[in-house]
Structure 1
């Protein structure tokens, strides 16, 4: 018997996890389903404490897969599209995976497909075989593949997954493009401040000390900042690194991630973009799940795993509980307080007409366009903030450096 660490979702306990003994992963999944738990991930457990909070904290500080190669999103995108084409052409799944393994350009993808093939040959279902690689296939991917197995529409499922991943990849590229210019400006400003503190201000400090004049407040602040940077610069960098590690470990905890995601929605400028992006992802994932034949309550459970924001995921879980108690989707969504009037109106019409999936797809397209517009104008929205910050910095430097020089020059001419 093997020990398997699993994560899942139940109607009574919500998100849950644990360790189970079974002959293989498929048997573990059957045992969990028998308990009323929908398994999301199942993987071999190396020990009784593998799922402990202390272990999670340690892994967050020292990442287990830090130097392990990753599967790029574009590799998974191509895999989904090619597998859809092969299955639609009637190629058996094992032969299709063998062909994709031989043509894959990523070594990590080749290794993953080889392990998936071995799992399939040993009698494990495709969804469970994919679930053994959570760093490659996420919960949403596995859940839809499981639906495809139950409905016999795997080829259609992989096509929908391809379009979903194409949308996600496009959004990531848009975010990177939007943040490139502000990131460059901020990096240049930080570098300039470092050079001024370490090289420029100390040179003026010698002149000011020799003059023995009373220095203005701005100059005293610059000199104190420069001395602190020179004396404690190494400790400051170390403190920033340690602080980043502690913050990362805190965010890795359930409570920390929940509070961090809630704060992200309140950040000026970025908060509204995050909220619209999460609404677009929710609408697209929910629509895709419903089109694939997933029941509404189970679809909400799957979608909660894909929004990538625990604050919103917690509200979607509450929405699922309300639907399971017999409330309408509209009423359950309205209680959460995270959906805009546009989404609620579309849900109301969708419930009346039985076309929730189609209307949610339109909602996804609507917010997708809004997010694209917000990202295209992000640089323009951040420019006033950067200009004000740069202006204040230049003003402090000008007052701190040139006022004493001006006073010294005026004193010299007076003599």
Structure 2
């Protein structure tokens, strides 16, 4: 077997190059033709022979099997490999929305400048700081070099690139305006990032307070109340009902805390598994819309995503029936996604967008009126963008209202906790003090 360097053209006419192993020149050409490539130039690779590869592998094996000075021959030192594996694990991090935004913005600039996609991806690999995303970019580049389109290459990574991302890239490739597609993607991702940031900002304070309250209750129940219970037991005083209740709860927690933690973890894991299932997730997404305070935010965030995505799909020229399927996969709520699919089915039967929106039962009268005006005037894409801005404003208002409503609730919870502890712990002390004075 020998190694050959080749240049060929794929079924799209793009020039590709690489190395392959074959018995002879004719076998190499046959293998390329079998892959769907048209050979242009094939020549033996210099310095690449099986013998030299075997020597190289042997040298690498010997280098890995060397030990530190003074160690016995033949003993393998795994320290270097272990440190390398640990270093790679520490550097590996999740691909975030920021990574996608930077990638889309860079691709917009590079495609607008007319740079070939394979060269653009090579440059992005060198400049990217996330090793996980570097590996993804390398796989995308390899898919391009094998003759696949960019949208197909991105489709191999559905956990990273959404259906909307891939569909807009596909439209950009077919229309020759890939830079405009990436510009739309950047705008969408930045709006999505802003929405997530607003939601996290509104829930950060109450989450911190609730966690602090839970930790404080745990410490008081497990450490503080048992100490008071021992003191009261030695004094033999008659305890009020509040104190006996607190001591009973504390004894139960101290004796059964492993089972309580295990049961709580089991309930959480069971609920998550149920929420990830199709039937359970659909039911949970429907009930989430009616949660106190947070339900309105959840529903309006999903509707804002629907309107924004639908507007982008229409502006990109995607057929409305196909676009509805893309929109349904991006709203982030399976119940609303099911309503969107029903709207698509109504449109495919010839119904108007306004009628399907009315039958969906998830839009306010103002939004329905805007949809009707947009459909009649032929500016539905612009009107849906206005609907998205309307829902974005509603989300900001709901988040502000939720923050204002949560603060007094948390204050009441803290006040109630302090009152219960005061009645349960300090009342016996006051009774003992009064008895001692008498």
TM bin, normalised by shorter chain, reads 0.7 to 0.9
Aligned to 1:248: 272
Equivalent in the alignment of 1:324: 348
Q: Distance in 2 between matches of 1:78 and 1:330?
A: 37
1:303 maps to which residue?
327
Is 2:307 the counterpart of 1:283? yes
Question: Paired residue for 2:386?
Answer: 362
Moved more, 353-362 or 243-252: 243-252
- In 2, Cα distance between equivalents of 1:342 and 1:288: 21
- In structure 2, the partner of 1:156 is 180
CA drift at 1:216: 2.4
Does 1:97 pair with 2:97? no
Take 1:207 and 1:285, find their aligned partners in 2: how far apart are those partners? 65
Q: Could you tell me which residue of structure 2 aligns to residue 345 of structure 1?
A: 369
Structure 2 matches for 1:15-414, cutoff 5 A?
Answer: 69-414=93-438
In structure 2, how many angstroms separate the alpha carbons of the residues matched to 1:81 and 1:402? 63
Q: Give me the whole-angstrom Cα distance separating, in 2, the residues matched to 1:134 and 1:239.
A: 35
1:407 Cα deviation from its structure 2 partner: 2.3
Q: List alignment gaps of at least 5 residues for structure 2.
A: 1-33, 36-88
Whether the 8 Å contact between 2:354 and 2:371 is mirrored in structure 1 is: yes
Shift of 1:404: 2.1
Give the drift of 1:68.
6.6
Render the CA deviation track for 1:367-396: whole Å, top value 9, x for unaligned: 212222333443322111111111221111
Residues 44-72 of structure 1 deviation map (CA, whole Å, 9 limit, x = unaligned):
xxxxxxxxxxxxxxxxxxxxx9x973212
Larger Cα Rg: Structure 1 or Structure 2?
2
Deviations 1:71-114 (A, max 9, x none): 12111101111111111111122222122122111111111111
CA distance in 2, matches of 1:132, 1:112: 10
Contact 2:155 2:161 in 1 (8 A): yes
- Residues 1:221 and 1:68: Cα distance change in structure 2 (over 3 Å): farther
Report if aligned partners of 2:92, 2:131 keep a CA contact under 8 Å in 1: no
| Distance in 2 separating the partners of 1:325 and 1:191 | 57
Q: Deviations over 1:89-140 (max 9, x none)?
A: 1112222212212211111111111101111111122111111111211122
CA distance in 1 between counterparts of 2:117 and 2:188 reads 22
- RMSD value over aligned CA atoms? 1.9
Task: Name the count of aligned residue pairs.
Answer: 351
Partner Cα distance (2:274, 2:92) in 1 = 23
User: 1:311: Cα distance to partner?
Assistant: 0.7
Deviation at 1:412, TM superposition (A): 2.7
Matches of 1:219 and 1:124, distance apart in 2: 73
Question: Which secondary structure does the structure 1 equivalent of 2:129 belong to?
Answer: coil
Q: Distance in 1 between matches of 2:244 and 2:361?
A: 50
Note the residue ranges of structure 1 that are not aligned, 5 or more in a row. 1-22, 25-64
How far is the alpha carbon of 1:213 from its aligned partner? 3.6
**Runs of 4+ off more than 4 Å:** none
| Distance in 2 (alpha carbons) for counterparts of 1:249 and 1:163 | 34
Query: How far, CA to CA, are the matches of 2:197 and 2:152 in structure 1?
Result: 31
2:93 and 2:130 in contact (8 A); partners too: no
Aligned to 2:10: none
- Residue by residue, what CA displacement relative to the aligned partner does 1:128-163 show, whole Å, maximum 9, x if unpaired? 111111121112211222222232222111100000
Cα distance in 2 for partners of 1:89, 1:223 equals 73
Q: CA deviation at 1:364?
A: 1.0
Structure with more contact order per residue of length (Cα contacts < 8 Å, sep ≥ 6): 1
Query: Whole-Å Cα distance in 2 between the matches of residues 215 and 296 of structure 1?
Result: 72
